[in-house]
Structure 1
């Protein structure tokens, strides 16, 4: 059963037992589907934030918007209570438009245009970084009330994207910069560092936090009262990576230099950690060129796909990513493989995605899937040669949907809240229900939000009777909806529901939602039913 919701500003498909691969296969089977597309897994992002809070409980994440600014990413993170690392006035405006409070934003660009500073002052976004004297004079002129965080330079030698060559004052020079801030009458509230994006050595955080402690002491000696430590980004986010080693080293360093109860708030700026593994890209082989040796034997194959380094794969050039495709269709590994290269669709010879790998002989029209494509891909992609950017399909596992609906409620931006009155809300829901073969979860959510009195007594019951309940969580969701009296008249009971096994049927029986005399289960397979897990039960 396919369920959809409008939990966010755009639509999202709710998954029960389907995998991301299942979704991609289904999409590629659509008539005329040849364009590249992303599948975004909201559940992956929610899980990343859960893991972060569990393993780094003292460190509040301020998501680096620059990494991936897809609206649904920002909406779900805003709902989960994260902060945001913004680098420009445009990013600040995007976050404020979500209803996020200014206190949850750090303007983490040490070298800001004056117009961006003026807007930050107008919008009352005071927390910002600096690393040079010129910036201090600029801030003094345009936003003297700002709360400043001095950014120091600490470099991880193996960072995927080193940043120290561009940003950060050397710790030895920080004292002079703090003295300038004091002379200008500015307010320095903390210390920040960034070891480099895609850091591979977590031990560098001990050195960085130790250096930050020394700068704290220098600031205090000058009369400042620093209370914020920003440990930046650099955290890995692919599906094969782990936060464990980073968390262990960071927590040890914090306990040593900034023990709990010392009055210092700790934040970080994770980007790729949050979104890298949440996005999967599907591309189509649009052409190929086979290269033969002098004897006419095939030696290598050049494959051309419909996305490249000017699009989503700009991460190869700008973020130094190493990408690896997976064939969507299973192939016989015993068949011969050939040296292969993969190229983008543009007319530029630089547009090479993979220089060398071993692949079987693939036909045009074959789909290649690229996991871990959420970080620094779409956000910096262009449309060179007129090739459009891939669209994004948003999916959310059902258990994640229930978690968000249960724990976040109205804190989440839901598009149906745009309805101004009960009549509009009802009309919108009825239109969606009539135009779709499958009941949408957003329609059910609307019924619980709009006044039930405006509905016909059996409206919701008619729809619910068509549902196949997949798991206990889904049953509980509808149980809560029914208990609220959303659109149910009479005795508030349901008939003709279909369940995937006896346990689910009994769970609803215990909740008391069957009319008297309808508590027995009925097997859809008839008298020959063996009462297996695959048996379908109804309440009729």
Structure 2
């Protein structure tokens, strides 16, 4: 049975409070205790709003959250309570979603190249939905999980995305028929097609081409003898709040393409695997300066040199790329520090570079940033830190992972509880073989009765 996040795990705030307000209160407490370890403020209300916005903009799509982006338990429990599915790439992620009561029907094992132990573990947990893009993977699944239901992963044009997944994942159109024929020979059931455009795809028209390609492969599958009925359009949706207009544009393009190539009533269910979209803007990180030195001009790059004589400083923080700044390596992110204490306008600016706590040359966070002179003990704040920034355990940063403080308004909390209660009621009715009858919520939010049922997703292909 799905278990929602407990109220005791959340900082309850008044409606209208911002992450900055919560951060300020926490920093006041830190100053009193002297504990200057890094920490996150995670706005779970932002995650809930993103979920509802997605369901409203893309009503045919059943969202699956990609845990590889951020596996913090608060996010997982919140989305589980809202009825989202989960995309897992390893045993740890699968065990986490199972531990909060997510049924196997709402889990996809999404890596096209899986270790044999993962395939066997998925089989033992009743997880049937998996992806593949090569013959070797088909052979492993045929031997170790013959009841699996497979999605053929297509290569896409992700040349303008921030990550290029098609370099290593995805089958080309030229190889799809051969793979489908091979799957048929091995008696592996193929139930649909998947693709993934990479993080924050800047051109929504690429979705149109990818959906059109998927239609061609559906037709190939029919010729081979498969009746496929599941399309996974992956991720690539804009993540930041300021890109909301681009999200609406992308949604409109996706809806139009689906109506053209997979019209409603054609018997094909649509799902998506979203990670960054849900969490990037929801997490804010606070770190502390632990060391500082002034460097001479021959120690910095020529682009930092200033004939006017401004100084250059190197600062070391108590978190780095092997901890909460992993996105610097994984996604070529360029984190921008925000000063906790607002400087006076007459303070002179100096060239500043920021490094993590290790001695590794890769542990570089930002450089050439013009800021006033800072001091050991000062706090820096980094926004939009939810994607690929929350490490699961202690790492090379020589300390435990940054603590996460979850925050949500009372109105949002009540909305989540109502949605979770309806999901629980739906699950119980489904177990008893009765039809669910949802009613509108009355919690002050724009939530309709269609939203309470839409996220509950058990593809017919694996039931």
> TM-score, normalised to structure 1's length?
0.72
What's the counterpart of residue 166 of structure 1?
168
Q: 1:244 aligns with which of 230, 241, 248?
A: 248
Preserved CA contact (<8 Å) 1:68 1:374: yes
What's the counterpart of residue 355 of structure 1?
367
What's the counterpart of residue 285 of structure 1?
289
Report the more deviating stretch, 241-250 or 68-77: 241-250
**What secondary structure is seen at the aligned counterpart in 2 of 1:63?**
strand
What's the counterpart of residue 346 of structure 2?
334
Preserved CA contact (<8 Å) 2:319 2:397: no
Q: 1:372 aligns with which of 379, 384, 387?
A: 384
Backbone CA RMSD of aligned residues:
2.2
Quote the Cα distance in structure 2 between the aligned partners of 1:362 and 1:209: 51
Report the more deviating stretch, 347-356 or 389-398: 347-356
**What secondary structure is seen at the aligned counterpart in 2 of 1:317?**
helix
What's the counterpart of residue 9 of structure 2?
11
Rg comparison, structure with higher value: 1
Report the more deviating stretch, 14-23 or 350-359: 14-23
Structure with the greater relative contact order (CA < 8 A, sep ≥ 6): 1 or 2?
Answer: 2
Quote the Cα distance in structure 2 between the aligned partners of 1:64 and 1:86: 6
What's the counterpart of residue 40 of structure 1?
42
What's the counterpart of residue 437 of structure 2?
none
Quote the Cα distance in structure 1 between the aligned partners of 2:132 and 2:60: 24
1:427-506 counterparts in 2 under 5 A? none
- Give the drift of 1:89: 2.4
What's the counterpart of residue 256 of structure 1?
260
Q: Flag the 1:249–1:181 CA change in 2: closer, same or farther, 3 A.
A: same
Preserved CA contact (<8 Å) 2:87 2:107: yes
Q: Flag the 1:197–1:209 CA change in 2: closer, same or farther, 3 A.
A: same
What's the counterpart of residue 146 of structure 1?
148
1:325 is the counterpart of 2:325: no
Report the more deviating stretch, 393-402 or 286-295: 286-295
Residues 165-201 of structure 1 show CA distances to partners (whole Å, capped at 9, x for unaligned) of 1111101110000001111122111001111233222
- Give the drift of 1:394: 0.8
1:223 is the counterpart of 2:225: yes
Report the more deviating stretch, 266-275 or 313-322: 313-322
Quote the Cα distance in structure 2 between the aligned partners of 1:328 and 1:291: 24
**What secondary structure is seen at the aligned counterpart in 1 of 2:65?**
strand
Quote the Cα distance in structure 2 between the aligned partners of 1:287 and 1:407: 47
**What secondary structure is seen at the aligned counterpart in 2 of 1:301?**
strand
* Paired positions, count: 410
Unaligned segments of structure 2, at least 5 residues = 299-306, 425-441, 445-463
Preserved CA contact (<8 Å) 1:66 1:379: no
1:297-336 counterparts in 2 under 5 A? 298-336=310-348
What's the counterpart of residue 236 of structure 2?
234
**What secondary structure is seen at the aligned counterpart in 2 of 1:33?**
coil
What's the counterpart of residue 433 of structure 2?
none
- Give the drift of 1:80: 0.4
Quote the Cα distance in structure 2 between the aligned partners of 1:380 and 1:162: 24
Quote the Cα distance in structure 2 between the aligned partners of 1:27 and 1:232: 37
Quote the Cα distance in structure 2 between the aligned partners of 1:55 and 1:117: 34
What's the counterpart of residue 89 of structure 1?
91
Segments of 4+ in structure 1 off by > 4 A? 292-298
1:363-442 counterparts in 2 under 5 A? 363-379=375-391, 382-384=394-396, 386-409=398-421
Q: Flag the 1:204–1:139 CA change in 2: closer, same or farther, 3 A.
A: same
What's the counterpart of residue 110 of structure 2?
108
Q: Flag the 1:36–1:125 CA change in 2: closer, same or farther, 3 A.
A: same
Q: Flag the 1:159–1:10 CA change in 2: closer, same or farther, 3 A.
A: farther
Quote the Cα distance in structure 2 between the aligned partners of 1:225 and 1:98: 33
**What secondary structure is seen at the aligned counterpart in 1 of 2:136?**
helix
What's the counterpart of residue 271 of structure 1?
275
- Give the drift of 1:325: 1.5
Q: Flag the 1:89–1:381 CA change in 2: closer, same or farther, 3 A.
A: closer
Quote the Cα distance in structure 1 between the aligned partners of 2:322 and 2:394: 6
**What secondary structure is seen at the aligned counterpart in 1 of 2:200?**
coil
Q: Flag the 1:186–1:29 CA change in 2: closer, same or farther, 3 A.
A: same
Quote the Cα distance in structure 2 between the aligned partners of 1:306 and 1:115: 36
What's the counterpart of residue 119 of structure 1?
121
Preserved CA contact (<8 Å) 1:8 1:72: no
Q: Flag the 1:214–1:410 CA change in 2: closer, same or farther, 3 A.
A: closer
Quote the Cα distance in structure 2 between the aligned partners of 1:473 and 1:111: 44
**What secondary structure is seen at the aligned counterpart in 1 of 2:391?**
helix
**What secondary structure is seen at the aligned counterpart in 2 of 1:406?**
helix
Quote the Cα distance in structure 2 between the aligned partners of 1:391 and 1:24: 13
**What secondary structure is seen at the aligned counterpart in 2 of 1:164?**
helix
- Give the drift of 1:90: 2.3
Quote the Cα distance in structure 2 between the aligned partners of 1:132 and 1:252: 31
Quote the Cα distance in structure 1 between the aligned partners of 2:165 and 2:297: 46
